[in-house]
Structure 1
Amino acid sequence: MTDTLSTDHEIVVIGAGFSGIGFAIKAKAAGYTDLLIVDDADGVGGTWHWNTYPGVAVDIPSFSYQYSFAQRPTWSRTYAPGRELKQYAEHCVDKYGIRPHLRLSTSIVAAEYDETRNRWILTTGSGGSITARFVVNAAGVLTRPKLPDIAGLEDFAGIAMHTARWDHRIELRGKKVGIVGTGASAVQVIPEIAAEAKRLTVFQRTPIWCLPKLDVRLTKPATWALEHLPPVGSAARLASQAFVEVTFPIAAHYGRVLPAGRIGERIATAYLRAQVHDPDIREKLTPRYGLGCKRPSFHNRYLATFNRPNVHLETDPIDHVTADAIHTVTGTAHELDILILATGFKVMDSGNMPTYDLTGSDGRNLEKWWDEHRLQSYEGVSVPGFPNHFAIFGPYGYNGSSYFALIEAQTRHILRCLDHARHLGAERIEVTDAANTRYFTEMLTRRKNQIFWQPSCAHANSYYFDKHGDVPLRAASTLETAWRSRRFNLRDYDFGRASQSRSVRAAITD
């Protein structure tokens, strides 16, 4: 491929995780073949490329965590381990002919809209550029590790690593290990490393709701039935989808009117009592916020790990770190050889959504615009002032169900826009200010039924809250989200030529 061909494309997709792969598959099927997918990793899979820590696995049933059009019947377990998700990504890339469209080990650091040419100029980390008519941000939000703001962290002289950048060369056996965080990654990794470490100290700021996990091995007869008996596969997926919907979207977005969260709390509390022997430790592991304020976790060994004599749960706040220890505010020093940071990702943080500096029409910078106007986007896809730029994971797009449900809904939305522009012969697509404002207002109006705004969430320390105090999750069921991706009014967008000003751009008719 020549340099000219590789730097000028109709569509550039930023991110080669499941969002980018899924969009590319559907875009190719719709006839968009001038397509480039760029990723800073040296392989596909996004989250499942970067996260390889011990015990990494999907936290919702595998029957839901896959494309609806590429269902895999051969998962080894009902909750697939991370290596199988990575394999699934590779399989889809090859099956649907996506690999020729990939450019890996290439980071996008900035995107600027050229008004005169109606092109996006993408700047790479190496200083090069790629131009595109349309840009799809599929970078995801669970790829950039978030380091904790702890005094002296850089002074630690032992080995320190984030769970998302696990170094498998490090030997934990016989070492004094500390892990900061008790979120989703920590819940999976703690039981795996507790058996190896001489002593494991878990530093907890906020406990997590943990429920039992129906994680069973799928036998050959089971996988055969899933593959060859359509009703079996359909039933498994339907049950899985219903379970996922109840445990988060319904519990979170309708928590004020439906008791799903309260029922879950009773189940989780009983499970905690059965799993943890010491009443003092059990008390420390009991959340003081409602189920749904933060994403709950499912694991069959996490809670019982705290019964081990070599595992210590530290709930006093961390004061600072020295060369060989973590010191709490009460003066306790925990000597460590290895420090593991299970502190999550830059989700709602500035500079992570998107992961590149974005400048649209009239020099509008997205990060600055969001700082002034709060995080918002039309259906989680488009922002006024940024024509021909779309997102898979934008504010108020994701409702908390399977990430694959989000990918497919947003892909349908984007392709409806692209198809309509192609039908009209339009080169420019931009959501209207009125449509964006209407949708943002609708999302804020729905807050009253969300659990996040109830008193029970006051002490959750949830990463769902952004710096404006908002929770930019989509307050909707998965069915509504899918329906709207097919039925949103195309008049909510302006379609026109590059030379037309925003005020006179042609109105459309369905």
Structure 2
Amino acid sequence: MADFLVPSTASPETDAQHRARGPIHAQRHVRVVCIGAGASGLLMAYKLQRHFSNYTLSVYEKNPQVSGTWFENRYPGCACDVPSHNYTWSFEPKLDWSAVYASSKEIFAYFNDFARKYGLHKYIKTRHQVVGAAWNKRKGGYDVKIEDLESGQIVEDHCDILINASGILNNWAWPAIPGLDKYKGTLLHTANWDDKIDLRGRHVGLIGNGSSGIQVLPTIQPHVEQVTTFIREPTWVSPVQGLEQHVFSAQERADFATKPAVLNKYRKNVERGLNGQFGIFLKGTTTNTETEAYFRQQMAEKLQNPYLEERLIPNWHVGCRRLTPGVGYLEALGKPNVTTVYGEITSISKRGPVCDNGQEYPVDILICATGFNTSFKPRFPLLNAAGANLQDVWATEARSYFGLAAADFPNYLIFLGPNCPIGNGPVLSAIEAQAEYMCKLIDRFQTHNIATFAPKQAAVDDFIAFKDQFMAKTVWQDPCRSWYKARPDGPITALWPGSTLHYIEAMMEVRHDDWETTYSGNRFAWLGNGYSQTELDPTADWAFYIRDHDDDDEPLSRGRRLQIINKSGTVRPEGAVSFTGRDVDHEKEMPKL
């Protein structure tokens, strides 16, 4: 498609005049600003570079390197809880993972190498943090303020489309425990780890039994004098059956590296298994019942301690909190140099935590594995044309459209926003679906004389109502404390009302009737001067629609298109097999709304 320069800052009249001189679907220049160069930001840069021309992209990253949370999280034992061969882009496998659950260093290397391979660093300004954005009423788009973290100076930029790829699990925070600032020992947070601190031979306190704390304990336990771990609530800890930790042998790694069919088969089997787990999250399903029984058995066998079994094995359903493989964690709790303190920490003294049993626990080093701020509010003021700040709009409940946009905030797109499938199944495939959806919106913006696009408030309201109705049938509704929701009895704001495959299918087409679109000038100015893009290409066949064979057009129905995309007919008809080793009958397990 030929480029046709239509200044994005032009007035409606100038825009229409430019388009009148060009062909249909002329590509105006589009300025995109992306916040964050973690996995999502890197993928967006790749997709724009691969599929678009006549655009400008600036990616602002607060860290000195790319890869986001996988650059930041370097604590002992840090790893992903998704099998490593499937924690990659669908089109970009990694051939040399060391184990089923690889370390954060390996994951960082994957995304860093991805950026280098495709030359994405040219779009990225590291050590630059977005501190504000406001809609420009005169010329449209956002005026963006960025702090240069090296100099402390504020620089400004302007974009037609603003993409927030800052993620959800990298805005770390200290726990709100009185007296934390009075502690005289060494204070560490898992998401702000200091590699210079030597834990060997020290008495270490560890606060938290979420994913980070579960990974830290078995890693440091063999090397420290004593660990006192503070746990305030139970959690399910076990790999799903069939996805236990395994270190790949030299022969396995060689086969993965040199035999594409072997690697592809392995990745597909794991992905099918991950997608076959969704029944775990639905109350009353066989998958949930069998998985809970398996987890309960595994935890009891590994703990071998009635006191800990009573306090650590939950009475709420498996999956209410994010599932954690917990390699070596339960076994570590039983080691002679590990003391488990169950209950609330009421304060921190200068020597260590003070608990609700009235006892003080002095420690040399105190590690806070206490997670992140997961409120979904932007980390900077984001103002729309009416002056409303999205931070205020989402202060009590974040309400998005399909996890990627907010009503009344035009030309603003979000990766992993509220109610996207961040815990429903494979997450990177969901990020790919979001990136492709965004590209469709950007393509339409670029080839039409669109001024603004944003989801309608009515569409967001209906989506949230449907989501809330669906969630009542899920384990996420149980009264557990989870970052999936702001409070144990609150609405579920982090998860999609369905499986990851469900989300991918929902995102295949843009439902334009859910979007409020305004135009610069006449809405049909994009029709241009009467010429097609085909006529501008001397190498194109100007009679491409005349054929001497059967109709080979793309199917016109959604159902037929989906059958081609999902390769219907290539897998045995009995259905997917979950990692519990049985066939999954999704229709029987589907909750009735």
1:201, distance to aligned residue in structure 2 (A): 0.5
TM-score (norm 2): 0.78
| 1:204-223 deviation line (CA, Å, top 9, x unaligned) | 01122111452222234323
What RMSD over aligned residues (CA atoms) do the two structures have, in Å?
2.3
Which residue of structure 1 lines up, in the alignment, with residue 483 of structure 2? 463
1:267, distance to aligned residue in structure 2 (A): 1.2
- Identity of matched residues, %: 26
Find the aligned partners of 2:250 and 2:39 in 1 and give their Cα distance. 27
Contact 2:221/2:332 (CA < 8 Å) preserved in 1?
A: yes
Contact 2:449/2:520 (CA < 8 Å) preserved in 1?
A: no
Contact 1:117/1:498 (CA < 8 Å) preserved in 2?
A: no
1:397, distance to aligned residue in structure 2 (A): 1.8
- The answer to whether 1:438 aligns with 2:445 is no
Which residue of structure 2 lines up, in the alignment, with residue 314 of structure 1? 341
SS of match in other structure, 1:48: helix
- The answer to whether 1:346 aligns with 2:346 is no
1:9, distance to aligned residue in structure 2 (A): 7.2
1:490, distance to aligned residue in structure 2 (A): 2.2
- Supply the AA of the counterpart residue of 1:190: L
- The answer to whether 1:357 aligns with 2:393 is no
Q: Displaced runs of 4+ in structure 1, greater than 4 A?
A: 505-510
Distance 1:432 1:178, change over 3 A: same
Find the aligned partners of 2:44 and 2:405 in 1 and give their Cα distance. 16
Find the aligned partners of 1:173 and 1:64 in 2 and give their Cα distance. 34
SS of match in other structure, 1:481: helix
Find the aligned partners of 1:251 and 1:413 in 2 and give their Cα distance. 28
Which residue of structure 1 lines up, in the alignment, with residue 442 of structure 2? 418
Distance 1:40 1:379, change over 3 A: same
TM-score (norm 1): 0.91
Which residue of structure 2 lines up, in the alignment, with residue 63 of structure 1? 85
- Supply the AA of the counterpart residue of 2:399: Q
Of 390, 396, 416, the match for 1:366 = 390
More displaced stretch, 215-224 vs 125-134: 215-224
Of 81, 106, 112, the match for 2:134 = 112
Of 242, 245, 255, the match for 1:215 = 245
Find the aligned partners of 1:263 and 1:148 in 2 and give their Cα distance. 35
Which residue of structure 2 lines up, in the alignment, with residue 3 of structure 1? none
More displaced stretch, 403-412 vs 40-49: 403-412
| 1:389-425 deviation line (CA, Å, top 9, x unaligned) | 1001111122512221221011111111111222223
Contact 2:447/2:526 (CA < 8 Å) preserved in 1?
A: no
Which residue of structure 1 lines up, in the alignment, with residue 294 of structure 2? 267
How is 1:213-292 mapped onto 2 (pairs within 5 angstroms)?
214-247=244-277, 249-252=278-281, 255-292=282-319
Find the aligned partners of 1:357 and 1:243 in 2 and give their Cα distance. 41
Which residue of structure 1 lines up, in the alignment, with residue 71 of structure 2? 49
Find the aligned partners of 2:377 and 2:289 in 1 and give their Cα distance. 32
| 1:1-23 deviation line (CA, Å, top 9, x unaligned) | xxxxxxx9700110100010011
Contact 2:471/2:492 (CA < 8 Å) preserved in 1?
A: no
| 1:69-92 deviation line (CA, Å, top 9, x unaligned) | 111121111211111111111111
- The answer to whether 1:19 aligns with 2:40 is yes
Find the aligned partners of 2:334 and 2:471 in 1 and give their Cα distance. 40
Contact 2:203/2:364 (CA < 8 Å) preserved in 1?
A: yes
- Supply the AA of the counterpart residue of 2:407: P
Find the aligned partners of 2:265 and 2:221 in 1 and give their Cα distance. 37
Find the aligned partners of 2:276 and 2:236 in 1 and give their Cα distance. 15
- Supply the AA of the counterpart residue of 1:27: L
Which residue of structure 1 lines up, in the alignment, with residue 415 of structure 2? 392
1:35, distance to aligned residue in structure 2 (A): 0.8
1:499, distance to aligned residue in structure 2 (A): 7.2
- Supply the AA of the counterpart residue of 2:196: R
SS of match in other structure, 1:449: coil
Find the aligned partners of 1:250 and 1:44 in 2 and give their Cα distance. 35
Q: Which has the larger radius of gyration?
A: 2
1:94, distance to aligned residue in structure 2 (A): 1.2
Which residue of structure 2 lines up, in the alignment, with residue 142 of structure 1? 169
Contact 2:449/2:525 (CA < 8 Å) preserved in 1?
A: no
- 5+ long unaligned stretches in structure 2: 1-28, 148-152, 528-555, 557-593
Which residue of structure 1 lines up, in the alignment, with residue 399 of structure 2? 376
- Supply the AA of the counterpart residue of 1:74: D
